[in-house]
Structure 1
């Protein structure tokens, strides 16, 4: 997708807000490059400290310094599996739709902590099967680019599929509200946080909830972010107060679980939009916070267990923002909410990497895996962690220097990729030795076992697959030969590359 002038302006603003003026002494995080593929992805530095769960790693590294980004899939050994198109990507998530594995991600124009775009859904051939949009015009949206219009106003923060073939997304509408209670004008401007449930196949809006329209149940007194704070806005039309900042939604039965970052709040909404209960991370809300259960500026809140008497929540507890600075260690947090009696909130679990703690000021995710394992993606800090059922860290994965690379969330998920393309191959002669080498890769293939090399239609060499790109030495290969490489094993067994002619130099 072409980069708009809005994208580059926002990237500059984002880099400035993170204090990035140059890369300084730490330099640029190295990228993996290949001979058979144009892919360029950050090296994933993985340290295993114990047994991890099965599955690949799904995240979308955005390189703030170089101005590039891709949805990606990696294996645990740090090898690239798939790189998607070059674009700013948020809310990338492997999920199930119509009984089949898919990946959803946001793409569009992002900045200032929100964005305007669409959710793309791809299947395991990496082809787009649905684009979920929200018409800015039909929903009467005002954007920060007003009066210039944009086609779709889906925000960056969520792309959660439901079992009913619908998608939960956030949106941001610039509207007026009385800010006198927080020291602003009566006719101030805010980023209204909206929740939508949209039918994937028809784009029909099935549910809508507006924070501004529910100020009686979610008042400005809940907000921790002060008016005029960095990232939250000053309350005028060009810099609206981002008080709600809704960053995750999930549906349980007919109810909606909604996380508001700057309110440090979690709401359970009824189908009519009324608030069933409210949990505030500093004040408790409808609950009483026990020792160790305080949280704020959280992301990715989910219900991991529920009965009529008790709900267990998980979250990525940032506890920091751009305007607070790196104050508290970021943790994965589990809270038990008693829904009856004195409504206490007790600590169900907390995890962090004590040896390499992070202080995350934006973004992040918490994924419950099998056997009690948990995967934390740390958003603005380019680090992914996995913990076992006892809270011990079993994996660290780094894909960039702090404040120069980021990924909104990260997931581990089983996946079998069957690319609609064919393998990519190149054959060349070493400048130093004159020996011929064939390089082969297949973007998105997950289960190739080995490669066969055909020279002038004759099987000449075989070699086991070795990472994203496999180098295969073929002694005596003449420079005029036609070379084809064939995948062996997996769903793409027998798929051949296009013929290539041996080049002169590698």
Structure 2
């Protein structure tokens, strides 16, 4: 069954995505696909905006640049500071190349958060994108926004099929679709792993949505494809306490157009067929497809793994991949107490050999002060080879040269973090 497209007006004057065969395939029955997501594009007034804070709201948190050396990459800095105190508002912010001047900012209403603020390409044009909502890190509910280079909202994307969009990922693909994530509380029989027959769990879901029409083109559920036994998360003492067994936190396009889906609480990244949803391979955790090893000068964690509690897998090409390796989790994440497999967080680069089934840690960049980020975080490879890092729950942003020299270190106030941070050329 091929569903008719919803009427809409493309803000850039382009048509629907090309008839790529992947656009016509999904892992849902047709009647489920009919429950479309919402992509608001048609009928927008010339200038609209995402919900904003009151004019008298507290300022966004200041950024203090502690180190600024020659050799940093070109482009502005993009952060989404979220404040746990009433002294500052939360929102999104573009900073100048050196981090010392605000180029543009948007405060979200009190009680809301923002995440994954960056530049992307939509129908050949550079745009700003971010998620805005509530509950980031748990059962989040929010909306993904797309702004043009005049800082006007041109589209918004919401999850479909009864789900609400989570803030961990909003990735626009070359086909004009969006890869997003969602969390949903449900019940599972966990007697096979010593749990309750009616345990409340939190499932992780990835969706691909046609931005223009809102159609759900692809949906993948962790509970449908991954064993609960892979979780590193302890079972709760009560079946009424939701078990965050998977904690999905990223969905990316690999170089072959299949998907990389990351799960913090299984210590695993899964390569998933973009057609069928089948797991093609998995790296890390209890059921890794690959033997994990370290190149000379590198080292595995105390569990003999390359990473743990990780975020943000990125394909670099040629069999190379990069992760933000948290190596720790706080009590809020484990449900018991803080744990760590290394005493600090880092960024790791891994070479995968799918023929010999080996994964080799070939490079790493440690947190400059040897601190642990118990949640969040990302890393970005810049043109020229520098690495730009947002340290997640730690209030720092860093940039490193290809040799690992620290070129930039910026700090947010205590009680403030930015889920991810990026450097990119804007305008």
Q: Same fold (TM over 0.5)?
A: yes
Q: Aligned-pair RMSD on alpha carbons?
A: 2.0
Name the residue aligned to 1:350: 364
Q: Does 1:276 align with 2:288?
A: no
Please tell me whether the aligned partners of residues 235 and 241 of structure 1 are also in contact (alpha carbons under 8 angstroms).
no
Q: 1:64 to 1:193 in 2, by over 3 A?
A: same
Work out the CA distance in 1 between the residues paired with 2:270 and 2:202: 18
SS at match of 2:384: helix
The answer to whether 1:249 aligns with 2:251 is yes
The answer on whether the counterparts of 2:93 and 2:104 sit within 8 Å (CA) in structure 1 is: yes
Q: 1:44 and 2:44 equivalent?
A: no
SS of aligned partner of 2:135: strand
Three-state SS of the structure 2 residue aligned to 1:328 is: coil
Residue of structure 2 in register with 1:485 after alignment: none
Partner residue, 1:288: 291
* Contact 1:92–1:159 under 8 Å retained in 2: no
Correspondence for 2:44: none
For residues 281 and 202 of structure 2, the distance between their equivalents in structure 1, rounded to whole angstroms, comes to 23
Larger gyration radius, structure 1 or structure 2: 1
What TM-score does the superposition give when structure 2 sets the normalisation length? 0.78
Deviations, residues 127-181 of structure 1 (Å, cap 9, x unaligned): 111010124xxx245xxxxxxxxxxx01111001100000000111111112224
Larger relative contact order, structure 1 or 2 (CA cutoff 8 Å, min sep 6)? 2
Structure 1: give runs of 5+ residues left out of the alignment. 1-35, 142-152, 229-233, 417-506
C-alpha deviation, 1:276, in angstroms: 0.7
Residue pair 1:93, 1:159 contacting (<8 A) in 2 also: no
Partner residue of 2:313 out of 293, 298, 301: 301
State the partner residue of 2:168. Answer: 157
Residue of structure 2 equivalent to 1:339:
354
Residue of structure 1 equivalent to 2:191: 180
Q: How many residue pairs align between the two structures?
A: 349
Describe how 1:200-219 pairs up with structure 2 within 5 A: 200-214=211-225, 218-219=226-227
- Structure 1 residues 100, 283: closer, same or farther in 2, change over 3 A? same
Give the direction of change, closer, same or farther, for the CA distance of 1:77–1:175 in structure 2 (3 Å limit): closer
- Write out per-residue CA displacement over residues 102-136 of structure 1, whole angstroms, 9 at most, x where no aligned residue: 1111112215534111111111111111010124x
Q: CA deviation at 1:344?
A: 1.2
Residue segments in structure 2 that go unaligned for 5+ positions in a row: 1-54, 301-305, 332-337
Structure 1, 256-265 or 86-95: larger mean CA deviation:
86-95
1:18-417 aligned within 5 A: 40-46=59-65, 47-66=67-86, 68-75=89-96, 76-87=98-109, 88-111=113-136, 113-135=138-160, 139-141=161-163, 153-214=164-225, 218-228=226-236, 236-237=239-240, 239-252=241-254, 253-270=256-273, 271-280=275-284, 282-283=285-286, 285-291=288-294, 292-293=299-300, 294-306=306-318, 311-323=319-331, 324-325=338-339, 328-341=343-356, 343-354=357-368, 356-401=369-414, 404-416=415-427
Shift of the 124–38 alpha-carbon distance from structure 1 to 2, 3 Å rule, reads farther
Note if contact 1:114-1:156 (Cα within 8 Å) is conserved in structure 2: no
